[in-house]
Structure 1
């Protein structure tokens, strides 16, 4: 449970990202999120400036492996910072690079990505989330 500015956030399973200013706290394995406040309304100026981002994110290992594949496919230096939030276009990838990244992901994870799904991948997190869905449906 995280508590900031009189608000508490409980996160029992999957992934929750809470941002206030430039501080970010991530809680892994979130299935449900509950927000509570000692106030009944969010009219406080301090609370209005808070930004919540909730995502059912892929496992950290999957994101890390995707980051490494993206670095390799784009021939980025080892010290380049690539995170789940990294957009392929911001890393210098064009549409051909994105196709090559998807092909590298297919090979590394033993999956097959449909063209329509591949077109929806814009970031490392998008790719990792899609991979986990495909791997889960493949094993089911």
Structure 2
């Protein structure tokens, strides 16, 4: 689900000749994605609701650290696979486990997670993205 509201979003930090953009019709209805190369527009996706996830991905080292903390908090075996896409519930975490994971993340990264934000964390990637956002706001 795209969580950006507006008519278009562009990534201006990329090369001036390559600028992907999103065109949204509402909060959850992605209308199209196109890429512009040297001013020529190339539509690559039209109306595939539910098939695309747009996110600002956290740094791999942040995701890896969150994976380590989640494995430790849930007492998962060393050979368990935990990735950014791993959902806490699928890893066996209940609501108390999730609170303990958030507390471990707060302690490690020196941040404070608001209750509303904590409730929106469902995956390792969600947690890593939130951490980077909070760390950036802190500095």
TM-score (norm 2): 0.66
Q: Mind listing any 5+ residue stretches in structure 1 that lack a counterpart?
A: 1-10, 15-31
The equivalent residue for 1:76 is 76
Match of 2:20 in 1: 33
RMSD: 2.7
Moved over 2 A (4+): 11-14, 32-43, 51-54
Measure, in 2, the Cα distance between the counterparts of 1:71 and 1:115.
22
- Number of residue pairs matched? 106
Alignment gaps of 5+ in structure 2: 1-10, 22-33, 36-40
Query: Distance in 2 between the 1:113 and 1:132 partners?
Result: 12
Match of 2:57 in 1: 57
- Length-normalised TM-score, structure 1: 0.66
- CA separation in 2, counterparts of 1:40 and 1:135? 34
CA distance 1:77–1:136, shift in 2 (3 Å): same
Which structure 2 residues correspond to residues 1-140 of structure 1 after superposition, within 5 A?
A: 33-34=20-21, 35-36=34-35, 51-139=51-139
Q: Deviations over 1:18-47 (max 9, x none)?
A: xxxxxxxxxxxxxx525358789959xxxx
Deviation at 1:72, TM superposition (A): 0.3
